[in-house]
Amino acid sequence: MFTPGVAKFSATWTTRLDPPSGKFTSGQLVLNSALYSAWYGTKADGTPENGISNGSKGWQGYHVVQTSVYSVAGAPYWRATYGLRNDGVMYRWSGQYGDLARYTGFASVKTMTLISQTKTYDTFLANTRGGALYTIRIARDPKVLPVVKKVRTSTWQTFESLVAQKCGTQSTLLTAIDKETGSAYLYAVGHANGASTVIKGLGKVPGTFTDPVDHLRTDETIPPLFGE
């Protein structure tokens, strides 16, 4: 869809069906220095279609974008976009970007991935440049400060990309990617509870992972994440 090198980083891409035979996959990503919503797939009659929205400029100073969509009875209850800036400031746009929240103190975070979505908070799993692994809980209420818990103290600094998906009812299947070696490792992460969190290594993933951009591709019918 995009010229090589133009895509810098990406949020989750979600696939939905368009009966009787259509299917669309859509997500948010940064192209050069602007954030876009993009989509590709086929219409209900099978006709191919793809496109991107007008971009939101000013993303050259960021290195992570994440989206959270929490639904109740099939209807979106909460939709937010998170951006982590290189100076450690995290922004959250919600209500179609109308409501802005700002959180500081995340300069050591190398990358992060969404692992939990509820009516009252979103939670990310993040690794630091020093090797620690943390959960970061962001409440829906912008007046509530983030809750940060250390999960592990070391060895996680080698990973440039984390991709998480729901596993069971309250756990996480985590892929951690080391772009320098092209290696990826799979982990089963229990329901997050600080240092007591159970993490089981499932081994190295076959293949070479050197693509510049990694992201989760999921289905809209999968229930919200509940890893913390």
pLDDT at 15 over 90: yes
Please check whether residue 228 lies inside any domain of the structure. no
pLDDT at 130 over 80: yes
d(CA 69, CA 5): 28
pLDDT at 98 over 60: no
For 135, the token pair is 């959960």
Please check whether residue 226 lies inside any domain of the structure. no
For 138, the token pair is 């962001």
d(CA 92, CA 82): 4
Please check whether residue 93 lies inside any domain of the structure. yes
Q: Give the number of domains in the chain.
A: 1
Mean pLDDT of 194-219: 96
Please check whether residue 227 lies inside any domain of the structure. no
Residue with tokens 């970007």: 97
For 211, the token pair is 């693509």
- Summarised one tens digit per residue, pLDDT across range 80-90 is 999 999 999 99
pLDDT value for 45? 86
Inter-residue contact 54 to 43 (CB < 8 Å): no
Picking from 57, 65, 51, the residue whose alpha carbon sits closest to that of residue 112 is 65
Please check whether residue 224 lies inside any domain of the structure. no
- CATH number, domain at 38? 2.120.10
Domain interval for residue 107: 7-219
Please check whether residue 170 lies inside any domain of the structure. yes
d(CA 31, CA 5): 9
Please check whether residue 179 lies inside any domain of the structure. yes
Please check whether residue 225 lies inside any domain of the structure. no
